[in-house]
Amino acid sequence: MSSTTTEQQELADERRSIERSGRLHGAHWSVLALSLVLTFFVWQYAERQAQDKRESRFQRYSSQVAGLIQERLHKYEDALWAGVAAKHSHSQAVDLATWRRFSSALHISDKYPGINGIGVIDYVPRQQLDDYLATHRRDRPAYKVHPQHTLPFLLPITFIMPEDKNAAAIGLDVAHEANRLRAALNARDSGKAQITGPIVLVQDANKTPGFLFYAPFYRQHSETLEERRANFAGMVYAPFVVAELMRGTLEQQQRDIFLRISDGDTVLYDEFPDNHEKQGLFAEYKLNIYGREWQIATASSPSFWRNTDDSQPKIILVCALVIDAMLLLLFISLSRAHRRSFNFAQRMLASSEKNAAALTQTIDKLEQSNHQLERFAFIASHDLREPLRSLGNYSELLKNDDGSMTDEQRGKAIGFIQAAATRMEELLTALLNYSRIDFSYQVETVDCTELLAELRDDLGRQLADGQAEVRVGAMPTIQVGRNEIRQLLQNLITNAIKFRANDRAAQVEIECTEKESTWLFSVCDNGIGIDSAHQNAIFDVFKRLHRHEDIPGSGIGLASCKKLSKLMGGEIWVESEVGKGSCFYFTVPKGEK
Ligand code: ADP
């Protein structure tokens, strides 16, 4: 491979690589992809953080709710123990009026919202029932204990305040029913406040779930189980409707969670909307409370989502995507700018290549024309020297005449001098005309039939002298320089007559044939013809095949024809046979040159 080819190959490679670097390629896409992946991870991370934050907030709220329930029940427990204290302060003998005073001092509805009432359940062994009834019928003659059962003891609700709201519960024996009884016995045995399992309070018209809260009291201080059983005297109790308890407990708070409380299979309280699963966060835990195990379930409420609406991850995502989009735009605009510069450089290169080509062409032309000029100068000087020499010779002869020359000889010498001068003038005029051919070429519409008719008129005398017959075929109207084609045709017709054969009248035929991209003109004669050896040379300046004395001429006619046809954008050539005639052909391109 030559060094130029290697260089060209390297240049082409370089050009391809520059062109490639102007497109969005692997590196750009990798940066973008990496940035998108980073965006995704940062967004996911922020999203997870937000979620963790939400979850811990939700857990906090959930345990807060449980705490509130416990706190509220502790407060109620305190009220129960206050009732126990009241009982003790009256040596167990609390009558209706005392209990009324006590409960009104408690301000239940103000201080204990959610509590349904506070009352006393007495432990009455069956054999003491009559005494018990007699005691309490003193204040309330209609007082009775119900319903009937067979246990050896009774646990009737002796008092409950406020009375009007809880009237249905007065005299109710809580030992009649297992759930109420079990909690009562647990309270008795443990000495601690206890609650029953779910029940429907007799005083609750809505029949919603509720429970009883017991605090036991004893006839005397009891440490052991046996002592507690032996001394058990009854319980201060409070009935609760769970819905009201919760309203009292949680109402003041703007809660962000839904709550459900169950005891075993019974739902005590339920705020969950039907579609709570879709709400998102959910928690469930157990709460051991006063001898019962409550299941607390919490779910996030719509207000939770409103209050914890964390738009930070979304903002991060949007910002990062905007940055990515800007990055993409930047890449695109950079690559466009690059491509524009590349195209510009290519155009510059192309135009400089074109300029270089034009320059080379001009140099070629100049070289050619220089060469022609040298040739022309050589031929011209050679041909002009001939008459100049004869001019010099005869003037020398006349100058050196010592009187020996006759008049006739002197007259001849002067005649030669005149002829040489005329010839020189002829040659110089012809040369001047030849050199002027290039000056201003102008294309116009030329009707060749009309043009030839004009020429015929102009050449009338020559045609008559040569007894020539000129036939013109169908001629087109073409786009060409009028003066140039006229001069060309005139030279060819003149030559056809001038070089006619002596033995026959000159016949000239002028035709024009349409070719694909040119008009082909021909001027044919039946003259002396041209030897094939000279058929190219006759188009050179001063090239003549005859002596001037035999057939006069300057030798510039065909050289002019060649220059004219070149100027018109075509070619000229001759086909000829000596003794038969010649055909000169020239072409004119169709359309504007
Ligand atoms: P000139 O006619 O002045 O001699 P040209 O340049 O016109 O010069 O022609 C050059 C030579 O070509 C002529 O001298 C002649 O020998 C030859 N020639 C030109 N036309 C014809 C023709 N129609 N038939 C024969 N010879 C021709």
Task: Judge contact between 121 and 155, C-beta under 8 A.
Answer: yes
In this prediction the pTM is 0.50
Instruction: List the strands of the sheet with 257-263, edge to edge.
Output: 266-270, 257-263, 292-300, 282-289
State the pLDDT at residue 252.
47
Output the CA–CA distances (angstroms, integers) from residue 228 to 217, 303, 571, in the order listed: 9, 50, 144
Contact 452, 489 (CB under 8 A): yes
Instruction: Give one DSSP letter per residue of 435-458, joined into a string.
Output: HHTTS---EEEEEHHHHHHHHHHH
Residues in Cβ contact with 539 at an 8 Å cutoff, skipping those fewer than 6 apart: 558, 559, 561, 562, 572
3-state secondary structure of 160: strand
| CB of 379 closer than 6 angstroms to any ligand 1 atom | no
**Ligand 1 and 250: CB distance under 6 A:** no
**Whether the CB of 424 sits within 6 Å of ligand 1:** no
Residue 541 CB less than 6 A away from ligand 1: no
**538 C-alpha to center of ligand 1: Å?**
7
Helix then strand count (H, E) for the chain reads 16, 19
Nearest CA to ligand 1 atom 25: 529
Pocket test residue of 437, 491, 495 for ligand 1, highest count of atoms within 8 A of CB? 495
By most ligand atoms within 8 Å of CB, the mutation choice from 544, 550, 554 for ligand 1 is 544
Q: Is 508 in the pocket of ligand 1 (CB under 6 A)?
A: no
Is ligand 1 within 6 A of the CB of residue 499?
Answer: yes
What per-residue confidence (pLDDT) applies to 256? 77
- Report the relative pairing of strands 266-270 and 257-263 from DSSP bridges: antiparallel
Q: In sequence order, which residues have a C-beta less than 8 Å from that of residue 60 and are 6 or more positions away?
A: none
CB of 496 shorter than 6 A to ligand 1: yes
**Ligand 1 atom with least separation from CA of 529:** 25
Residue 466, ligand 1, Cβ within 6 A: no
Nearest atom within ligand 1 for CA of residue 527:
24
The closest residue, in CA terms, to atom 16 on ligand 1 is 545
Q: Which atom of ligand 1 is nearest to the CA of 491?
A: 7
Ligand 1 contact via 558 beta carbon (within 6 Å): yes
Give the type of residue at 466.
G
Does residue 555 have its Cβ closer than 6 Å to ligand 1?
yes
Q: What angle in degrees, to the nearest 10, is found between the helix axes of 26-89 and 96-106?
A: 150
Neighbours of 161 (CB within 10 A): 21
Q: Which residues are CB-neighbours of 483 under 8 A, at least 6 positions away?
A: none
For residue 387 and ligand 1, the question of a CB distance below 6 A is answered with: no
Q: How many angstroms separate the alpha carbon of residue 79 from the centre of ligand 1?
A: 150
Q: What distance in angstroms lies between residue 557's CA and the mean position of ligand 1's atoms?
A: 8
Distance 418 CA to ligand 1 centre (A): 25
pLDDT in tens, the chain (593 residues): 455 567 777 777 777 766 666 566 677 778 778 888 888 888 888 888 888 888 888 888 888 888 888 888 998 999 999 999 988 888 777 888 899 999 889 888 788 877 889 999 999 999 999 999 999 999 899 999 999 999 999 999 999 998 888 888 999 999 999 999 999 999 999 999 999 999 988 877 788 899 999 999 999 999 999 999 999 999 999 998 888 888 766 654 556 788 889 999 999 888 887 766 565 788 899 999 999 999 999 888 877 777 776 777 778 788 878 877 887 888 777 777 777 777 787 888 888 888 888 888 888 877 876 776 676 677 667 677 777 888 888 888 888 888 888 888 888 888 888 888 888 888 788 778 787 777 678 899 999 999 999 998 988 888 887 788 999 999 999 999 999 999 999 999 999 999 999 888 899 999 999 999 999 999 999 999 999 999 998 998 878 787 777 787 888 899 999 999 999 999 999 999 999 999 999 999 997 44
Q: Which residues pair with 583 in a beta bridge?
A: 524, 575
Phi, psi angles (nearest 5°) of residue 584: -100, 130
**pLDDT computed for residue 111 by the predictor:** 83
Q: From the CA atom positions of the chain, what is the Rg in Å?
A: 68
Q: Label residue 179 exposed, middle or buried (CB < 10 Å: 0-12, 13-18, 19+).
A: middle
Task: Give the whole-angstrom CA distance, residue 524 versus residue 492.
Answer: 9
Pairing of strands 232-241, 477-481: unpaired
In 10 A of CB 9, how many CB atoms? 11
Question: Do 299 and 272 touch, CB atoms closer than 8 A?
Answer: yes
Whole-number pLDDT of residue 250: 66
Dihedral sign, Cα of residue 528, residue 532, residue 537, residue 543:
negative
Say how many Å lie between the CA of residue 487 and the centre of ligand 1.
Answer: 15
- Residue to mutate, 558, 560, 584, 586, ligand 1, most ligand atoms under 8 Å from C-beta: 558
Token pair 């001849």: residue: 412
Contact, 562 vs 584, CB < 8 A?
Answer: no
For residues 284 and 53, what is the distance between their CA atoms, to the nearest angstrom? 19
With beta carbons less than 8 A apart as the criterion, state whether 424 and 391 touch. Answer: yes
The CB of 493 under 6 Å from ligand 1? The reply is no
Any bridge partners for residue 581, and if so which? 577
CA-to-CA separations, 378 to 323, 434, 541, in angstroms, rounded: 81, 16, 10
Is residue 324 within 8 Å of residue 35, measured between CB atoms?
A: yes
Give the position, in ligand 1's atom list, of the atom nearest the Cα of 554: 3
DSSP annotation string for 520-538 = EEEEEE-SS---GGGTTGG
- CB count, 10 Å around CB of 147? 9
